[in-house]
Amino acid sequence: MLFNSIDFAIFLPVVFLLYWFVANRSLKWQNILIIAASYLFYGWWDWRFLSLILFSTVVDYLVGIGLSKTDELRKRRILLWTSISVNLGFLGFFKYYNFFLENFITAFSFFGSDISASSLNIILPVGISFYTFQTLSYTIDVYKRKLEPTRDFISLAAFVSFFPQLVAGPIERATNLLPQFDSPRTFSYSKSVDGMRQILWGLFKKIVIADNCAVHANYIFANSADMDGSMLLLGALFFTFQIYGDFSGYSDIAIGTARLFGFDLMRNFAFPYFSRDIAEFWRRWHISLSTWFRDYLYIPIGGSRGGTWMKVRNTFIIFVVSGFWHGANWTFIVWGALNALYFLPLLLAKKNRQNIEIVAQGKHLPTIREFGGMMITFWLTVLAWIFFRAESLTHAFSYIEGILSPTLFMMPDLAGMKALLLIVPLFMIFEWFGREKEFALAQVEGWNVYTRYILYYIIILAIFLFTGEQQQFIYFQF
């Protein structure tokens, strides 16, 4: 079920009314309703894959109980690796089986040996990368004694399958979200209004910005061999704003929806295109994944401790694994490695944490130095996104070669783009002035009530006017 669909527009208010007016007297029944709604939400796409979520939940519940009953290190490690093997085993099979098989065959062919093996027609379960990491956070934190294992299977099942962020995040930590299922929840009008505001902004990002940018980005990337350099550059820019509007829009809708039910999800985007260096960018982009890899992979393998070689090794591991998490294609691995190359100079010079505060905090405009840093970081990111979007490495390199050709200076064909080329800058200006808030539309909270509602109606009108062909969220494929 898509957030930007009629199905969800009916589903959400029905679940909301049942949750607060029917199941509101019992925490247990509220959690059961969440599980039922979440399984319906996910099963709307393909009910067969509900068995994967249920099986992972049962395994991790039993592992958690087992960890609570033993202090013997060997048994605890066996239990932990049982959870890791089951969860990553599912992820590896559905997402990476054909990738490894094809590269295995290619490697043997390179050395003159031909082997035959058939790839499988595997359907990738929507959101498997997200809920796999979410449930793993539970068993790892229980193993590390950061979290007491729950004996309430219903709470754990609700945590694993919570529908607002089930298929595309944020990837919640058990230490943050699981206790919220064990605590009584009361309806908060102000929290719900804020949630609706964030949902509205997320829908604007998705429908007006992302979906309309997608039309042009898809066309230009699909026909890149016939495009001038100026059009190719526009295509890269359209995809840059498409993926931001698409993914941060999903996160906004997820976080806002969770607020309607009394839950607080972690922030997933913090205006990343206003970053002054690539380290700041990765503290602001897909925060739930970046911090997951930091805490469960980067720090355990040594982090930034040790000598130069270890710092370089660990940086490449974390970025390449992050790239591979996004998809079974060499383009994602190169995208990750390229970001590691961007990041390394900052790390080795110990400047990777020099831009912690919000850019130009308390000011209307950045300094020249801050603006320059933002421009460099933005264009480095645009270059990296080309690898992320391209169909293959050959496609990516030919696309970049086309941009760098003399035709870069030709006037692009702007037919059908003029309205979007006006809306995107206005959108970014609005985001700039809201950058000190959790999301841009939150800045209207202190505005005059009439001005505030005029803006709401303008946003709603824009959503209706610019609604085109329904586009699936990009991160559903991951």
**How far apart (Å, rounded) are the C-alpha atoms in residues 4 and 472?**
9
Indicate the residue type of 254: A
Would you say how long the chain is, in residues? 478
DSSP secondary structure of 40-67: HHHHHHHGGGHHHHHHHHHHHHHHHHHH
User: Mind telling me the catalytic residues?
Assistant: 326
Q: Which of 261, 102, 243 is nearest to 180 (CA)?
A: 261
Q: How far is CA 284 from CA 110, 281, 357, in A?
A: 41, 5, 11
**How far apart (Å, rounded) are the C-alpha atoms in residues 163 and 258?**
9
Q: Is 402 helix (H, G, I), strand (E, B) or coil?
A: helix
Q: How many CA atoms lie within 13 A of 198 on its CB side?
A: 27
**How far apart (Å, rounded) are the C-alpha atoms in residues 169 and 130?**
6
Give me 349's structure tokens: 């010079």
**How far apart (Å, rounded) are the C-alpha atoms in residues 36 and 43?**
10
**How far apart (Å, rounded) are the C-alpha atoms in residues 463 and 3?**
14
Residue 416 contacts residue 241 (beta carbons within 8 Å): no
**How far apart (Å, rounded) are the C-alpha atoms in residues 475 and 234?**
22
Q: Which of 291, 293, 301, 345 is nearest to 319 (CA)?
A: 293
Q: Provide the Cα torsion 171, 174, 175, 178; round to 10°.
A: 120
**DSSP annotation of 307:** -
